[in-house]
Amino acid sequence: MELLRFATAGSVDDGKSTLIGRLLHDSKSIFEDQLEAVERSSQQRGHDYVNLALLTDGLRAEREQGITIDVAYRYFATPQRKFIIADTPGHVQYTRNMVTGASTADLAIVLVDARKGLLEQSRRHAYIATLLGIPHLVVAINKMDLVEWDEVVFKDIASHFEGFAAGLHPHEVTFIPLSALEGDNVVDRSTNMAWYDGPTLLEHLETVEVASSFNHDKGRFPVQYVIRPLTAEHHDYRGYAGTVAGGVFRPGDEVVVLPSGRRSTVAGIDTLDGEVPEAFAPMSVTVRLADEIDISRGDMLVRADDPEPRVTQELDAMLCWFSEQPMHVGTKYAIKHTTRSAKAVVRELQHRVDIDSLQPETRASELDINDIGRVSIKVSAPLMVDPYSVNRLTGSFILIDEATNATVAAGMVL
Amino acid sequence: MTLTLDPPRYELSDLDALEAEAIFIMREVAAELERPVLLFSGGKDSIVLLRLAEKAFRPGRFPFPIMHIDTGHNFSEAVEFRDRRVAELGERLIVGYVQDDIDAGRSREETGPRASRNRLQTTTLLRMIDEHGFDAAFGGARRDEEKARAKERVLSFRDDFGQWDPKNQRPELWSLYNGRIRKGEHIRAFPISNWTEMDVWQYIQREELEVPSIYFAHHRKVFRRDGMLLGVGPVTEPKDGEEVFEELVRYRTVGDMSCTGAVVSSAATIDEIITEVAATRITERGATRADDKFSEAAMEDRKREGYF
pLDDT in tens, B157-207: 999 998 998 888 888 999 999 999 999 999 999 999 999 999 999 999 999
Strand segments, DSSP code E, in chain B are 36-39, 66-70, 93-97, 136-138, 155-158, 186-189, 218-225, 228-231, 245-251, 262-264
The CB density around residue B180, as the number of other CB atoms within 10 Å, is 22
Taking CA–CA distances from A89, the nearest residue in chain B reads: B151
ipTM of the assembly?
0.94
Is-contact B168 A70, C-beta < 8 A? no
Buried b (16+ CB within 10 A) or exposed e, A295-322: bebbbbbbbeebebbeeeeebebbbbbb
Q: What is the pLDDT of residues B99-142, one digit of tens each?
A: 999 999 999 988 877 788 888 899 999 999 999 999 999 999 99
Percent of chain B with pLDDT strictly greater than 70? 94
- Does A225 score more than 70 pLDDT? yes
B210 and chain A in contact, CB less than 8 A: no
| Three-state secondary-structure class, residue A153 | helix
User: Contact, A275 vs A269, CB < 8 A?
Assistant: yes
Mean pLDDT along residues B51-62? 97
Average pLDDT over residues B67-86: 94
Q: Which helix (H) or strand (E) element contains residue B20?
A: helix B14-32
CB contact under 8 A, B30 and A271: no
Please state the rounded mean pLDDT for residues A20-25. 90
Residue in B with minimal Cα distance to A99: B173
The reported pLDDT for the residue numbered B111 is 84
pLDDT at A69: 65
Which of A211-225, A286-300, B107-121 has the highest average model confidence (pLDDT)?
A286-300
Q: Which one, of A165, A131, A212, lies nearest residue A410 by Cα? A: A131
Residue B154: closest C-alpha in chain A: A73
pLDDT number for residue A400: 98
H or E element that contains A22? helix A16-26
Cβ neighbours around A291 below 10 Å, total? 10
Q: Which has the higher per-residue pLDDT, B293 or A145?
A: A145
pLDDT tens readout for residues B229-256: 999 988 888 888 899 999 999 999 888 8
What torsion do the CA atoms of B284, B201, A270, A219 make, to the nearest 10 degrees? -60
Rounded to a whole number, what is the distance in Å from the CA of B268 to chain A's nearest CA? 24
Percent pLDDT > 90 in chain B is 67
Give the per-residue pLDDT at A247. Answer: 95
Question: Do A71 and B13 count as a contact with CB atoms less than 8 A apart?
Answer: no
Give the sign of the dihedral formed by CA A51, CA A101, CA A357, CA A67. Answer: positive
Three-state secondary structure call for residue A395: coil
Beta strands (DSSP E) in A42-184 are: 72-77, 81-87, 107-113, 136-142, 173-177
Helix or strand holding residue B118 (H, E): none
CA dihedral A38, A42, A48, A52 (to 10 degrees): -40
Span B138-157, average pLDDT? 91
Q: What is the pLDDT of residue B41?
A: 93
Residue B2 has pLDDT above 90, yes or no: no
A369 touches chain B (CB under 8 A): no
B11 burial via Cβ count (<10 Å: 0-12, 13-18, 19+): middle
pLDDT digits (tens, 9 = 90+) for A301-318: 999 999 999 999 999 999
- Give, for A375, the enclosing helix (H) or strand (E): strand A372-385
Binary contact (B24, A282; C-beta < 8 A) = yes
- Least confident span in A21-30, A61-70, B215-224: A61-70
Q: How many residues does the structure list for chain B?
A: 308
* Mean of pLDDT values over A50-73: 73
Q: What's the pLDDT score for residue A67?
A: 62
Residue A224 touches partner B, C-beta closer than 8 Å: yes
Task: Check whether B95 has a pLDDT greater than 60.
Answer: yes
* Of residues B278 and A211, more confidently modeled: B278
Instruction: Report pLDDT digits (tens) over A101-114.
Output: 889 999 999 999 99
Whether A216 and B10 lie within 8 Å, measured CB to CB? yes
User: Once rounded to an integer, what is the mean pLDDT over residues A380-396?
Assistant: 97
Residue A121 distance to chain B (closest CA, Å): 19
More confident of the two residues A364 and B298: A364
pLDDT of residue A213: 75
Residues constituting chain A: 414
* Mean pLDDT for all residues in chain A: 91
The answer to whether A84 and A75 are in contact (CB under 8 A) is yes
Q: Identify all chain B residues contacting A236, using CB atoms and an 8 Å cutoff.
A: none
Residues A153, A168: Cα–Cα separation, whole Å: 23
The predicted model gives A275-292 an average pLDDT of 97
The amino acid sitting at B288 is T
pLDDT greater than 60 at residue B10: yes
Q: What is the pLDDT of residue B5?
A: 57
Which stretch of A188-192, B7-11, B32-36, B87-91 has the lowest confidence by average pLDDT? B7-11
pLDDT of B214 over the 80 cut: yes
Which pLDDT score is estimated for B193? Answer: 96
pLDDT(B306) > 80: no
**Between residues A93 and A166, the one the model is more confident about:** A166
| Whole-number Å distance between alpha carbons of B306 and B308 | 6
pLDDT, residue A68, reads 63
Cα dist. A278→A243, A244, A270, B83, B182 in Å? 13, 11, 10, 37, 40
pLDDT given at position A58: 66
* Partner-chain residue, chosen from A3, A225, A336, that has the shortest CB–CB distance to B17: A3
Which pLDDT band, with edges at 50, 70 and 90, does B221 fall under? very high
pLDDT surpassing 80 at residue B98: yes
Q: Which residue of A has its CA nearest to B178?
A: A407
Percentage of chain A beyond pLDDT 70 is: 95
Instruction: Average the pLDDT over A329-354 and give the result.
Output: 96
